[in-house]
Structure 1
Amino acid sequence: MSAQREMKEKNPWHTPVTIIITVIGVIAIVALVTVAVLQNKPLLPKYKYGIVLDAGSSHTALYIYEWPAEKDNNTGRVEQTHSCKVKGPGISSYASIPWKAGESLTACMQEAKHRVPSNRHQETPLYLGATAGMRLLNMEDSLASDKVFQAVAAALQKFPFSYQGARILSGQEEGAFGWVTVNYLDDRLKQGLETTGALDLGGASTQISFVSDNYDGSESPSNSVTFRLYGNDYNLYTHSFLCYGKDQVLRLALAHQTLSGPRKISDPCFHPGYTDMKNYSVLYDSPCVSDRKPHGAPATFNHTGKGNFLQCQEVVKSVFNFTHCKYSRCSFNGVFQPRLQGPFGAFSAYYFVMNFLNLTDTSIPLDTVKEKLAHYCSTPWPEIRRQHPDTKLKYLAEYCFSGTYILTLLTEGYNVTSDSYSDIKFIKKIKGSDAGWTLGYMLNLTNMIPAEAPDVPLLPHAGYVSIITIMALLLAVLFVLSLRPLWPRCSKQPHII
């Protein structure tokens, strides 16, 4: 027993001080590792969401946007995460049965409900913006327009989002927000680069928007919009031509050809061999042409095609007025327009029509584009139907007209030349987001949504470094102290001479 006690007394690791030092050291090491792990764990970013419904003249589309809760130069970095095309026509088509306008949105709203995280539903803003179709309905019958909006509001408020209202966007807003979308997606706003103009073509209206060094807004203030994005100011020229979307301008062109109320017309903008019976009342059932309906016209007329591009251009030119301009420069219909500047992105119907015609490559000379379109228009209707069996006949029949209208609008209306035509880029999406006014609208609205504080590390960097340093020093001191029992033994070692 005495031998064991003597060995225990001689073993330095059995002393109380050493045990305490060891325990403290272990605790310090565990704490150091824990702090390091917690401090350097990956942070889950917080996101906010927004939903915008684009209620156009021909259809409605829903877009879901997502952006980090922290902001970049007071402008949220918005990305499109989902889109849904509403089945059926635009909400303005439900004027006589407004409840169906709201019902038509249900399927896409259900998709949005599942796409947006449930814990974000209550704070996700939901907007509906109506464009030219509802502008025309409001002009024609404001009471019917109000009832459609009431039905839409009732349907949207059934979902758990933060409904912010439904309203008609002005043409100026539609054009300006389309410009924001194109430049935002191309990173031109964030980097302060030269901006890209925006060309938007819908069913009932068309918009042109661009920044011009020669335009300060004084000559035509109604065409001026100012934005401040990413710390930069932009003075934008923008104009929207109501009734000059591809569907309404077709009515204008047909109205020009039926001024005398004929029973039959031979239309150069439709393929040879095309024939259809059209109703005068349906054709003139729009504020764009209602005052032009010929008196004493029969109930219907036979609409046939002859497929002549040059003659079609003359028909299209008839819907423009180039004779009146009180400004230094005009586009058409007496509307001021400064000289075109910079590249342009052309989207919506611009893209869909030119893509169908395989004419989106603007490196092809303009004369060659016209030749290709002329050949397409002259192709017999039966052959066109055989080549595109899956395309809806209504759309298929109108591509010759729509393509001719686009080229005429650009060259005659907006003064695009053979040289500047190559500056136009027909686009559908940019970096996964649809080109159109909705993203610009959402981007602008994020400036009004309070920024949410992001997740931060457990400790500030200086505090983290200080704690790590203190713990490291403590471990060093404990290590030295743990060797204390060995000090006397080392000092008592005999010196060798």
Structure 2
Amino acid sequence: MSFPGQQVEKPKDVYGIIFDAGSTGSRIHIFHFISYGPGKQMTLVKDTFREVKPGLSAYAANIDKAAKSLIGMLDEAKMIVPIDLRHSCPIALKATAGLRLLGPETSEFILTKVHELFKTYPFLMIDNSIEIMSGIDEGVFSWITVNYMLDLLVNNQPTVVALDLGGGSTQLTFVPFNPATLAQAPENFKKNITLFGTNYKLYTHSYLGLGLMSARFQMMDNIPGDPPKLTTPCFNPGITDTLSKEGIKYIVSARPDHNGFEPCYSIAQGLIKKNVQLVPELKDHRIMAFSYFYDRGVDSRLIDPAGGNVTVGNFLEAAKNVCSNHLKDQPYLCMDLTYIYSILHDGYTLPLEKNIQLTKKVKGIEISWALGAMFDVFAKATYYGSSAHLYSPQALPPTSTPHRLFRPPLLPTRSSPPPPPPHTLPPTSTPHRLFPCPPSTPPHRLFPPTSTPHRLFPPHLYSPHALPPTSTPHTLFPPTSPLSHSSAHLSLSLLGLFCPPPSLSSPALLCPPLSLPLRSSAHLSSHDNSLHLSCLPCLHHHHHF
């Protein structure tokens, strides 16, 4: 898939690796792109996909085994990525609902082990490349993947709705036709992104705990005992099964009486109506559903493995049929189909005749959030000093935190208040800012967020030879960062902040203490992409700014 652009010049092979650490398994996507230079869109050549089960969250009681479960897929990635491109091949792991539900302490231990493992491989790691992904990002990245693969992100074409049903959560993302949909939606359901030069105002939400596997437990009655039991009206009385959760094995069976579709649907409907926000206009959109939506469509023979179109009513009919004739080899199919029907009809208010496209792949590429996340990782890698040829600043994929160095003009204007003095900067939730940004302006960050604030002030406390230990050097740009930007100007009115570096390949050091305050300035040339820094004597000999 490629986008219209300028004349193709010197195409380059580009690789990237995304691990999808889901609740039911860990998956690797090894992406191979062709890049045609700054400002031009990449062509996706291949997505090599592998999966292992169980997922990382299954190793809560044995954390050392969690990271080791990824070794086989890492070794395969090492074989696929050419030797001369491994150092520039970014790698990232994004965990979803499974680790979110474990709690911060256990999930942090697991991710730390994964980080230690990744460092033993020759791939590019950037800050925050191993993390628990927010539900909003998961939904947005899935929407990007679907619409990118369908070539709908060019020429202002109407985009499709992305419905993703995972094991621990489910996501809905689309561009509303009706302005009232966004106006009436909660703030955490809205997301503005700029993708390939076009702005999109998205309605997006991730319902944590409403994934298919999580919903199963909520649709059962827990009966303590040894072993503990789970009962549900969604099981045939003649069927039993075992189900494990967080290391505990349960015996699953039908309720003593009143089983079948109606009591099963009553439980699913109550769960959905209690938790899902109604979206009336969704019925007017083209909808594409994947993950467990697709899997259960195949299992119930509504579609063949190639994918296809179904109606909401088809899910209802399939659920009633399966609940009346339980399949011993698929004991949960009655429950799953009933739950899916309730999400679509009771949650998203889709009528029975509404058509939905179920798919697993588009043009041979697996549909998931991973491809959208890969664009995000490339954007971060670009500004952290690698893969700079992939994007121009006008064609950055969206991120939950804008990774822009600055947006001219940065200096205060008459309509904006001047920055506070360097020694009295107010605390912010994001400490890596030269100036506080107005509320309507995206953050102008020079540094990625880290757990250790990279404060540049006050300069009189440090000399270049006495910098406090941090996990990241106090540099304007990473030492190996070949910065590329079409046009930008940066002026810093900060006391003794930076001395001119010998070259872009050297860190911009903090100025040593001087008897005379300095006013620093910086200019980024649009002709040769070089950064010019200079220290200018301040007009005031005292600390009056």
How far, CA to CA, are the matches of 1:307 and 1:125 in structure 2? 51
Q: 2:62 aligns with which of 77, 85, 97?
A: 97
Q: 2:165 aligns with which of 184, 187, 201?
A: 201
Q: Tell me the secondary structure at the aligned position of residue 194 of structure 1.
A: coil
What is the count of residue pairs matched by the alignment?
Answer: 369
1:404-446 CA deviation, whole Å, 9 max, x = no partner?
11111111111111232x1x11110111211111101112333
Measured after TM superposition, the shift of residue 145 of structure 1 is 1.4
Measured after TM superposition, the shift of residue 167 of structure 1 is 0.2
Bigger relative contact order, structure 1 or 2, given CA contacts below 8 A and separation 6+? 1
Measured after TM superposition, the shift of residue 373 of structure 1 is 2.9
Counterpart residue number, 2:148: 184
Counterpart residue number, 2:360: 428
Kindly report which structure 2 residues correspond to 1:271-282, keeping only aligned pairs within 5 A, or say none. 271-276=236-241
Bigger radius of gyration among the two: 1
How far, CA to CA, are the matches of 1:264 and 1:112 in structure 2? 42
Tell me, yes or no, if structure 1 residue 246 matches structure 2 residue 188: no
Identical-pair percentage: 30
How far, CA to CA, are the matches of 1:175 and 1:110 in structure 2? 29
Q: Tell me the secondary structure at the aligned position of residue 31 of structure 2.
A: strand
Counterpart residue number, 1:224: 190
Superposition CA RMSD, Å: 3.1
1:149-183 CA deviation, whole Å, 9 max, x = no partner?
11111111111101232001110000011000000
Q: Call closer, same or farther: CA 1:285–1:245 in 2, change over 3 Å.
A: farther
Measured after TM superposition, the shift of residue 146 of structure 1 is 1.2
Question: What TM-score do you get using the length of structure 1 for normalisation?
Answer: 0.68
Query: Greater helix percent: which structure?
Result: 1
Q: 2:200 aligns with which of 234, 238, 252?
A: 234
Measured after TM superposition, the shift of residue 67 of structure 1 is 1.8
Q: Tell me the secondary structure at the aligned position of residue 28 of structure 2.
A: strand
Counterpart residue number, 1:5: none
How far, CA to CA, are the matches of 1:70 and 1:408 in structure 2? 46
Counterpart residue number, 1:351: 294
Tell me, yes or no, if structure 1 residue 84 matches structure 2 residue 50: yes
How far, CA to CA, are the matches of 1:444 and 1:300 in structure 2? 40
Q: Call closer, same or farther: CA 1:83–1:244 in 2, change over 3 Å.
A: same
Kindly report which structure 2 residues correspond to 1:85-484, keeping only aligned pairs within 5 A, or say none. 85-86=51-52, 88-138=53-103, 142-164=104-126, 165-215=129-179, 217-219=182-184, 220-255=186-221, 267-276=232-241, 303-304=253-254, 308-322=260-274, 332-333=275-276, 335=277, 337=279, 339-340=281-282, 341-360=284-303, 366-381=312-327, 384-385=328-329, 396-420=330-354, 422=355, 424-448=356-380, 449=382, 450-452=387-389
> Counterpart of 1:156 in structure 2: which amino acid?
F
Q: Call closer, same or farther: CA 1:338–1:194 in 2, change over 3 Å.
A: same
Measured after TM superposition, the shift of residue 230 of structure 1 is 2.4
Measured after TM superposition, the shift of residue 270 of structure 1 is 1.8
Q: Tell me the secondary structure at the aligned position of residue 210 of structure 2.
A: coil
> Counterpart of 1:186 in structure 2: which amino acid?
L
How far, CA to CA, are the matches of 2:114 and 2:230 in structure 1? 40
> Counterpart of 1:406 in structure 2: which amino acid?
I
Q: Call closer, same or farther: CA 1:265–1:227 in 2, change over 3 Å.
A: closer
> Counterpart of 1:149 in structure 2: which amino acid?
L
> Counterpart of 1:130 in structure 2: which amino acid?
A
1:454-495 CA deviation, whole Å, 9 max, x = no partner?
9xxxxxxxxxxxxxxxxxxxxxxxxxxxxxxxxxxxxxxxxx
Is the Cα–Cα contact under 8 Å of residues 178 and 437 in structure 1 kept in the other structure? yes
Unaligned runs of 5+ in 1: 1-41, 287-298, 323-331, 386-395, 455-497
Unaligned runs of 5+ in 2: 1-7, 392-545
Question: What TM-score do you get using the length of structure 2 for normalisation?
Answer: 0.62
Is the Cα–Cα contact under 8 Å of residues 71 and 451 in structure 1 kept in the other structure? no
Q: Tell me the secondary structure at the aligned position of residue 49 of structure 1.
A: strand
Is the Cα–Cα contact under 8 Å of residues 410 and 416 in structure 1 kept in the other structure? yes
Measured after TM superposition, the shift of residue 372 of structure 1 is 3.2
Measured after TM superposition, the shift of residue 283 of structure 1 is 6.3
How far, CA to CA, are the matches of 1:351 and 1:453 in structure 2? 33
Is the Cα–Cα contact under 8 Å of residues 86 and 123 in structure 2 kept in the other structure? yes
1:15-36 CA deviation, whole Å, 9 max, x = no partner?
xxxxxxxxxxxxxxxxxxxxxx
How far, CA to CA, are the matches of 1:264 and 1:143 in structure 2? 28
How far, CA to CA, are the matches of 1:76 and 1:43 in structure 2? 12
Measured after TM superposition, the shift of residue 302 of structure 1 is 6.2
Counterpart residue number, 1:461: none
Measured after TM superposition, the shift of residue 218 of structure 1 is 4.1
Q: Tell me the secondary structure at the aligned position of residue 158 of structure 1.
A: coil
Measured after TM superposition, the shift of residue 447 of structure 1 is 3.6
Is the Cα–Cα contact under 8 Å of residues 181 and 439 in structure 1 kept in the other structure? yes
> Counterpart of 1:344 in structure 2: which amino acid?
I
How far, CA to CA, are the matches of 1:412 and 1:62 in structure 2? 34
